[in-house]
Amino acid sequence: MRQIIDIEGNVISPDLLPKVAKKELVKWLDIMIAVRVLDEKGMRLQRQGRIGFHIPTTGQEAHVGAAAAIKDKDWIFPAYREHGLAIYRGIALADIVNHLFANDLDPQKGRRLPGLFGDSRIRFINPSAPIGTQIVQAAGAGYAARYKKDGSVSIVFFGDGATSSNDFHSGMNFGAVTKAATVFICQNNQWAISVPLSKQTATKQLVDKATGYGMPGIQIDGNDIFAMFTAVREAAQRARKGNGPTFIESVTYRLGPHTSSDDPSKYRSENDVELWRQKEPIGRFSKYLINEGIIDKDEPQRIHSKYDQIFNELISEADNRSTPPLETMFEDVFETMPWYLEEQLEEALRFTKE
Amino acid sequence: MAELTIIEAVRLALDQEMARDESVVLLGEDIGPDGGVFRATQGLYEKYGGKRVLDTPLNESGIIGFAVGMALYGLRPVAEIQFADFIWPAMDQIVSEVAKFRYRSGGMFTVPMVIRTPYGGGVKGAIYHSQSPEAYFAHTPGLKIVIPSSPYDTKGLLAASIRDPDPVLFFEPKRIYRAFREEVPEEDYTIPLGQASVVRSGNDVTILAYGAMLHVAMDAAERAMEQHKIDCEVIDLRTLVPLDIETIEASVKKTGRVISVTESPKTAGFGAELSALVAERWIEYIESPIIRVTGYDTPFPFVLEHDYMPSAEKVLDGIIRSFNF
């Protein structure tokens, strides 16, 4: 398993440590903490009954390294715990918060559960909820990139549970056969809601699955942002050169519940969670930056406070807005509204006026 | 102008759309050097190469999911599902992804694509090479559904489907792939989706049909005139979604008697939707029960398929019952 810094932030694989500008490293930390604060806010809003649902991300923030490893023109197919890639690419934080509240400014027009958002401007695909469907789609996009010869790649995220899905098989197989410019990244966070990895697969480790599809695989410490960054960069370069896809098994852990509707105490022990809490990505990367003298020891808290304030302001603005107008329910089924949807819209409007 | 069959019209439309637009890419099983099991893509691999006529692994879900990624990227994939009976593995990609991408993303991401698939019975294909699954897809918002019945329409409708901004399921009536020829212009033309065609004008009974059943309906209409002096109006729906409600309305108000002919099972088939629409909207014009002539509510049979399917005799019986009510 590739690990470049240990849980104390010490460099244990100096030959693999990438050369990255200090400013960029601080940006990584900044985005990781933004994701953490967004998670804290989302869970609290859900518990307060102000939003209906929340999908936690805490413990998996090293995915930010993948955004840093690719180019802006590359396509990202997220699962649903990869908000950091969108934030790294500059999605408007207000768009995310308006989406959480499903208000009239939500770019998704209030149609999705909180946490399921995308943005075409940053090539961050709007995720599904059926598990694994994006895997084969990313392979198709990776094929299209090669067809268009524009030097782009696609990267796709999915969980350990998704490796059992039809579309994992389809995506890995189609991607390998067509030499699609795609990077497959499994965020193995050990749990598919309540089902542990041992019940998901009989293989010793998920990375072994790459062999069966005829593509290289690499297992990385998914809580080490340097391991994520270097593995994705190498895989993306390989894909860009036309040498086909790579499978990355990123070993991480979901520290929170599956969603706000889940109670993990029913299926896993707090001791295990505590062990993994020691390995979480933000703390160890902060220690590395402090050890290297790149930031002072108070910087993580300052960044946290900054985002706390930013999100608080966005939340109070978003919370006071109205729901999207009724017309939006009938839009975007097709490019233009057919006669029967016009009729149904009229009917729906009649009932709101009464 | 050449006289073409339906399968030749499919091939000509694909060829011309590929020549016209580099983003049009075909994918499916055996569509490359083999030219497809029905020869729809014959010669296209040689002309456009394996990157644009992509032989895929044997996985329908993979074909459609892969096409979604291509469409998101800006290509115009035309996916072939070898038989409509094999479309089920792709159901999740079609229903959850293809149909919903525009909606779920607030219009930010779209997946214009065509899914071509041969459908229907009467070809000695038995239980898994004969089905007509259009009603399953008509029930899913976000999919357009097109079914041609003639070579001329095939070319114009397929070209329009490939250029359409929304995903289109294009069901091809394989029973009549090579049944007859008609003149199909080389010149570029499209037939707008959502427009039915009045194939035979008449004043007594309206018959709604599409695909291979259009010809069964026409046969019955001619017999009704010759043998019983009943003057039927036959409408080829051509597009099931969105349906051309105005053409149906004009005919129903004129005749007051309606029959639909579909070859899928009766219960919750597309004929049920047509009956409901007519009853809901124009009951005051209706003179007799709205009749569905359909396949039966059994899996598709083999040696008894001609007893299963709507025939001119069965449609004629419906016409007489409707007219004499």
Domains annotated on chain B, with CATH: 2-184 (3.40.50.970), 197-324 (3.40.50.920)
Q: How far is A277 from chain B (nearest CA, A)?
A: 34
pLDDT at A354: 53
SS3 state at A294 = coil
Residues A41 and A179 in one domain: yes
Beta-bridge mates of residue B261: B209, B293
B267 touches chain A (CB under 8 A): no
Q: B24-68 pLDDT, tens per residue?
A: 999 999 999 999 999 999 999 999 999 999 999 999 999 999 999
Residues A259 and A342 in one domain: no
- Mean pLDDT across B72-89: 98
Residues A92 and A239 in one domain: yes
CA distance A231 to A227: 6
Residues A335 and A265 in one domain: no
Residues of A in contact with B110 (CB under 8 A): 335
Catalytic annotation, residues of A:
254, 258, 267
CB B23 within 8 A of CB A149: no
The answer to whether the Cβ–Cβ distance between B65 and A137 falls below 8 Å is: yes
Q: B117-167 pLDDT, tens per residue?
A: 999 999 999 999 999 999 999 999 999 999 999 999 999 999 999 999 999
Q: Which domain holds residue A338?
A: 329-354
**Cis before B289 (ω within 30):** no
Which residue from B minimizes the CA distance to A122?
B108
Residues A318 and A333 in one domain: no
- Mean pLDDT across A200-222: 97
pLDDT at B1: 78
A266: phi then psi, degrees, rounded to nearest 5: -75, -20
Residues of B in contact with A138 (CB under 8 A): 69
Cβ pairs A/B, distance under 8 A: 150
* B56, B70, B141 ranked by CB distance to A144: nearest: B70
Q: How far is B130 from chain A (nearest CA, A)?
A: 26
B93, pLDDT greater than 60: yes
- What is the average pLDDT value for chain B, to the nearest integer? 98
Note whether residue A4 is domain-resident: no
Nearest to B295 by CA among B319, B314, B322, B321: B314
Residues A185 and A265 in one domain: yes
- Interface probe with B: pick from A123, A137, A150, most Cβ of B within 10 Å: A137
Catalytic annotation, residues of B:
129
CA distance A133 to B68: 10
Which residue from B minimizes the CA distance to A102?
B106
A78, pLDDT greater than 60: yes
Other CB atoms within 10 A of residue B124 CB: 11
- Mean pLDDT across A46-69: 96
Q: A277-299 pLDDT, tens per residue?
A: 999 999 999 999 999 999 999 99
Note whether residue A1 is domain-resident: no
Share of chain B above pLDDT 70, in %: 100
SS3 state at A250 = strand
CATH code of the domain covering residue A148:
3.40.50.970
- Mean pLDDT across B297-306: 97
Q: A236-267 pLDDT, tens per residue?
A: 999 999 999 999 999 999 999 999 999 999 99
For residue B29 the two structure tokens come to 């099983």
B217 touches chain A (CB under 8 A): no
Note whether residue A219 is domain-resident: yes
The answer to whether the Cβ–Cβ distance between B62 and A170 falls below 8 Å is: yes
Note whether residue A188 is domain-resident: yes
Note whether residue A185 is domain-resident: yes
Instruction: Give the pLDDT band of residue A192 (cuts 50, 70, 90).
Output: very high
Note whether residue A5 is domain-resident: no
- Mean pLDDT across B287-311: 98
- Mean pLDDT across B178-199: 98
Residues A343 and A194 in one domain: no
CA distance A116 to B304: 50
Residues A201 and A85 in one domain: yes
β-strand pairing of B76-80 with B24-28:
parallel
The complex scores an ipTM of 0.96
Note whether residue A265 is domain-resident: yes
The answer to whether the Cβ–Cβ distance between A120 and B57 falls below 8 Å is: no
- Mean pLDDT across B277-282: 98
CA distance B251 to B201: 9
Edge to edge, the sheet with strand B205-209 lists B197-200, B232-236, B205-209, B258-261, B291-293
What does the angle CA A160 – CA A92 – CA B165 come to, to the nearest 5 degrees?
75
B173: phi then psi, degrees, rounded to nearest 5: -75, 95
For residue A200 the two structure tokens come to 């998901």
- Mean pLDDT across A166-193: 97
Residues A341 and A195 in one domain: no
- Mean pLDDT across B277-298: 98
The answer to whether the Cβ–Cβ distance between B242 and A332 falls below 8 Å is: no
pLDDT at A269: 92
Q: Quote the distance between the C-alpha of residue B278 and its chain's center.
A: 21
Q: A16-33 pLDDT, tens per residue?
A: 999 999 999 999 999 999
Residues A303 and A179 in one domain: yes
Note whether residue A267 is domain-resident: yes
- Interface probe with A: pick from B18, B53, B104, B146, most Cβ of A within 10 Å: B104
pLDDT at A351: 93
The answer to whether the Cβ–Cβ distance between A339 and B245 falls below 8 Å is: yes
* B61, B70, B166 ranked by CB distance to A334: nearest: B166
CA distance B185 to B183: 6
Residues A254 and A354 in one domain: no
Tell me the CA distances in angstroms from A283 to A23, A61, A223, A225, B147, one per residue in order.
Answer: 18, 11, 10, 11, 60
Residues A223 and A281 in one domain: yes
A353, pLDDT greater than 90: no
Instruction: Give the pLDDT band of residue A139 (cuts 50, 70, 90).
Output: very high
Question: How many independent structural domains does chain A possess?
Answer: 2
The answer to whether the Cβ–Cβ distance between B70 and A136 falls below 8 Å is: no
The answer to whether the Cβ–Cβ distance between B104 and A126 falls below 8 Å is: yes
Which residue from B minimizes the CA distance to A167?
B62
B167 touches chain A (CB under 8 A): no
